[in-house]
Structure 1
Amino acid sequence: MSLTYKTSVAAAAMALAMTACSFGPSGEPPAMPAPEHYGADAQPAKTVSAGGVAQTFEIGATPGSQWWRLYGSSDLDALVDEGLHNSPTLAATQRTLASAQEELRAQVGASTLPSIDGAAQVERARTAVVPGLGPEQVQYNFFAGQVFAHYTFDLFGQTRYTNSASAARVNVQAYELEASRRALAANIVGTAINVAALDRQIALTERLVAVSNDAAHEDQQRYALGSVSRAQALASKQDAAAIAATLPPLRQQRACAIHALAVLMGRTPDNAPSVPALDSLSLPGQVPVAVPSDLLRSRPDIQAADAAVKAAAADVGASTAQLFPSLSLTGSMGRGGFSWPMLLSGAGGLWAIGASLSQPIFHGGALFAQRRASIDAYDAAVLHYKATVLSAFQDVANSLAALDNDAQTLASTDEAADAARTAFDDTASRHRLGALPSAATHASESRYLDAQIAATRATGQRMSDTAALFQSMGELPAAQQTAAITR
């Protein structure tokens, strides 16, 4: 073999390899901007102090896999643990992923390894012959046993690309499972906090209704005595009825929330769990804020979009490779004969070997259309990835802004509640000394209860938005978390 021939063969092989490698895009996600801060305004180092807590933002950190334990409530931990263990929706997603993984194993094994099959045949037949040339009928037995083998060479990478696309889609399902797990935990935490806040609001509203009814009853008695006008008595009755009308909607919200919590945990609504009191929950003081480059690796929805880009890129390679020739080898080996002795003798050997080369020539433009379709699908996957990243940035920006504003709202409502409490204490003391009528006490207590209800809403909102931020941060692997913190 001449040197020129060897060089030509090597060059052809290298060109073939380079051609196969360039059939599809690389599958790497597009570069995304790395903003200095998520929102329109720079993120403060910490929030104002409210409820005795000023939350500090830890730049470069991400929450752990069990961030809900930072609320310091074993009852809340038990709710989340039960939900993650018993949720049928999460379990169904897990089984769907397991099914996809097994299908991928089957596809890879069937497409990359030779297929070998065995066959055995036992037949008794009767054949008619031409009259005058022998017996009119011939009866005979036929025995055969063979092993068949088949293998298709992946010359241009169609099998490799197809398997890569399937593997990437399995990864998409794996990331979607992780997203479902984190969303379930966040929904359980948020719903439990909502129920706890509603419990307190209902208790305060019930007291507010009682105070309003007492005030209306006293005004009715005073009207009967002629000390107040009929208009004032009717106004007091109207106020009491209006306040009482706010109680059923709160109870309805609570019923819907506790039913939703039961279903999230895999229970029936009639078996709803007990919820920890709002006062038993501790607001996390340290809030992790991942830098944008880490967010791309920590959010499962972004990772799923990344895997979808890789799958679409592999589809382009597969649709391109199917335009090129395909080479297959087939072979069989066995024994056969018209009797058992002949089957077992040397004369009964059967074998065959062959090769086939096929090249698409004309398919009505279908193959080229499929390739163009896969390219369009790849472009769509890239754009979907960009949209997912931008949506994630927006999600984090909104959560950070919410925590800052929640703290300011709670600080104001707490200040209003403290002032209302002081005013109520002073009014009650003066009433006991006979300096003020009971109507003044009822009015002061009503204002205090209104302020407490507003503070309760703000407290629950702040805790829920903290859980939403933990959810929006995703989760880095342990090694990456250490590197991020030490940057």
Structure 2
Amino acid sequence: MTSRYLLPTPSLTRLALGALALSLGGCGLFGPDRNPPQIASPEHYSVEGQAAQLPAADGVAQRLDVGAQPVPQWWKAYRSDALNALIEEGFANSPSLAATQHTLNAAREGLRSEIGNSLFPSVDVGFAPSRQRALGIPILPSQETFLYNIFDAQVQASYTFDFFGAALLADRALAGQVQQQSLQFDAARRALAANIVVTTVNIASLNEQVHATEKLVELGEQRAQQTAARYTLGGASHDDALSAEQDAANAAATLPAMRAQWLAMRHAQAVLIGRTPDKAPEPLTLDELHLPDDVPVAVPSELLHQRPDILAAEAAVRAAADQAGAATAAMFPSLSLSASYGRGGFDWTTFTSPAGLVWSMGASLTQPLFHGGALVARKHQYEQSYEAAVAQYKQTVLSAFQTVANTLVSLDEDANTLTQTHRAMDAAQGMTRDTDAKYKLGATPFYATLSADQQYQSARVQYLRARAQRLADTATLFDSMGSPPVDDAGHSLRDTIKRDAPASVSERASAASAM
């Protein structure tokens, strides 16, 4: 007879199914719209539009593949095995990236825990033997104490029916937060790759700039000495000697800061890939880094579905909407069922006999009435959090458009700047050759060759900066395009975003086991 109460009766089964249907249906009754706000996508990023072909510079005319799919491992377009190795080392050893990964794993386990608590009934087994000494009953003639044993073992189960979807909405909000962290991890991984590329480019450029500046300083010192000697012999004025000395000192003053910047960049690169600063890798040269010919550029409407930061902001909007819905649903009634089955007795014989059988069964219906305004305030709190998430989503989208627009303009101007600096360097190099030829023929003094060499080295420094800037801005554009994140099976996460509540318990349980 006892087992009849432990097994679900048809009426209890119908009640459970009805409660489940109400809880799943209630998810659509509470909370604001889970879809992010519609933002009008511009026809093009920059205020002046953007041509598909960038100006040619340094023998390369970059092409913008408008509408092309983003490149997941875009850094390989630089065609440098050494750069690829640095990025792979960064992915494997970066402490900041590892911390983000572990935080994401912890969030997934927390979600699995919450889904397990709210989806399934809790079942506990307890065994509590004890020995007690108690006072006798006062009305009895004897006032002696009693010494006895208690044996108690029970299986206890309880389950709260989520009539209005409060628990389900809370679980879904937590799942949205986990998805947000997953997308943020993807953004952090891409940002790490971009930082390594940009830092490597800047190190290569600064390395060559330092060598050119050292040559410039050497030439300036020689010119100052030559001018001072000419002044002594009456071939130059005092002002000429002082001017040459000032130029030499100004050139020499730029070298320490440039060296310090170069070393700081190397230290930063070492930390990015997980090394100590003293173990910084050897610098690459600019010639080892090839400018990518083709760069994909997503149309603005597709950029919303490719950048991890935008997708993370979208997930935050959905999570905030579910939190607001859960806070509203918590103001409605909840039903909890509990049952226990076990054995008990004052001695082991009674405990193991049919007389020791104990069981209980009960239900609890709760309707919040007065909590000092806490439930209403909590509802308003999450509604304001939702509005903040919506505003943050809009700002993230606008910032993404701005980043792409600025980078496209920069790449266009980088090509123009590189063309002019290359032109100036070629002219200065030609002037150096002509001056050297005249000096060998006795048509010009030696100090004139020093001045020509100085102009060439100065022009070369400007050319190296422009070349590095073009390489770095290309990396920024690659990174700003994002890429559709995929799950372990290679499916796009856009298809796995749950915009509505799961339709069945099996889907909800599958979500818990898959997290």
Q: TM-score, normalised by structure 2?
A: 0.88
**Alpha-carbon separation, structure 1, partners of 2:24 and 2:294:** 53
Which runs of at least 4 in structure 1 moved beyond 6 Å after TM superposition? Answer: 10-17, 478-481
SS in 2 for 1:45: coil
Task: Write the letter of the residue equivalent to 1:314.
Answer: D
Q: Is residue 76–residue 275 contact of structure 1 (8 Å, CA) maintained in 2?
A: no
Cα deviation 1:147-201 (Å, max 9, x = unaligned): 1101000100000000001010011111111111111110111011001100111
SS in 1 for 2:38: coil
Instruction: State the distance in 2 between where 1:199 and 1:354 align.
Output: 78
The equivalences for 1:239-388 within 5 A come to 239-388=247-396
Deviations 1:63-82 (A, max 9, x none): 32211111111111111111
Q: CA deviation at 1:471?
A: 1.0
Matched residue, 2:428: 420
Match of 1:430 among 430, 438, 454: 438
Q: Distance in 2 between matches of 1:51 and 1:41?
A: 25
- The CA distance in 2 between the partners of 1:430 and 1:466, in whole Å, is 43
User: How far off is 1:12 after superposition?
Assistant: 12
Letter in 2 for 1:112: L
Residue 29 of structure 1: SS of its match in structure 2?
coil
The offset of 1:128, in angstroms, is: 2.9
Q: Matched residues in 2 for 1:194 and 1:187: separation?
A: 10
1:209 is matched with: 217
Aligned to 1:404: 412
Q: Which residue of 2 aligns with 1:99?
A: 106
Question: Could you say which residue in structure 2 is the equivalent of 1:37?
Answer: 44
Give the Cα separation in 2 of the matches to 1:40 and 1:98.
42
Contact 1:62 1:476 (C-alpha < 8 Å) held by counterparts = no
- Paired with 1:137 and 1:252, the residues of 2 have a C-alpha distance of 87
Match of 1:367, SS state, is: helix
Matched, 1:466 2:474: yes
Select 1:59's aligned residue among 38, 51, 66: 66
Indicate the residue corresponding to 1:441 in structure 2: 449
Q: Give the match for residue 497 of structure 2.
A: none
Structure 1 CA distance for aligned equivalents of residues 463 and 171 of structure 2: 57
1:1-40 equivalences in 2 (<5 Å): 19-40=26-47
2: CA distance, partners of 1:423 / 1:95: 60
For each residue in 1:289-323, what CA deviation from the matched residue of structure 2 results, as whole angstroms up to 9, or x when unmatched? 01112211111110110010011000111011011
1:127 pairs with one of 116, 130, 134 = 134
Q: For the residues of structure 2 that align with 1:256 and 1:244, how far apart are their CA atoms? A: 19
| Contact residue 62 and residue 474 of structure 1 kept, 8 A | no
Residues 124, 140 of structure 1: 8 Å contact kept: yes
SS at match of 1:273: coil
Structure 2 counterpart SS, 1:25: coil
Native 8 Å contact 1:75 1:275 kept in 2: no
* 1:109-156 alpha-carbon deviations (Å, 9 max, x no partner): 011100011111212222332486457233222111111101000100
> Cα RMSD over matched residues?
2.0
Aligned to 1:485: none
Taking structure 1 as reference, are residues 77 and 350 closer, same or farther at Cα in structure 2, changes over 3 Å only?
same
Please report the TM-score for the alignment, with normalisation by the length of structure 1: 0.93
In the alignment, the residues of structure 2 paired with residue 193 and residue 60 of structure 1 have an alpha-carbon distance, to the nearest angstrom, of 27
2:76 to 69, 78, 88: 69
SS of 1:362 mapped into structure 2? coil
Q: Is the 8 A contact 1:24 1:317 kept in 2?
A: yes
Taking a change above 3 Å as real, the CA distance of residues 128 and 214 of structure 1, as seen in their structure-2 partners, is closer
Partner amino acid, structure 1, of 2:49: A
Shift of residue 15, structure 1, vs aligned partner: 8.5
Secondary structure of the residue aligned to 1:28 is coil
User: Would you say 1:90 and 2:97 are equivalent positions?
Assistant: yes
How many Å separate the matches in 1 of 2:26 and 2:180?
Answer: 28
Q: Is the 8 A contact 2:25 2:165 kept in 1?
A: no
Amino acid at match of 1:81: E
Distance, in Å, in 2 between the alignment partners of 1:374 and 1:339 is 55
Comparing 179-188 and 218-227, the one that deviates more: 218-227
Structure 1: unaligned runs, 5 residues or longer: 1-9, 482-487
SS of 2:371's equivalent in the other structure is: coil
- Cα distance in 2 for residues equivalent to 1:52 and 1:65: 26
Question: What amino acid is aligned across from residue 467 of structure 1 in structure 2?
Answer: A
The alpha-carbon distance between structure 1 residues 281 and 132, as it changes in their structure 2 partners (threshold 3 A), is closer
SS in 2 for 1:298: coil
Measure, in 1, the Cα distance between the counterparts of 2:47 and 2:140: 104
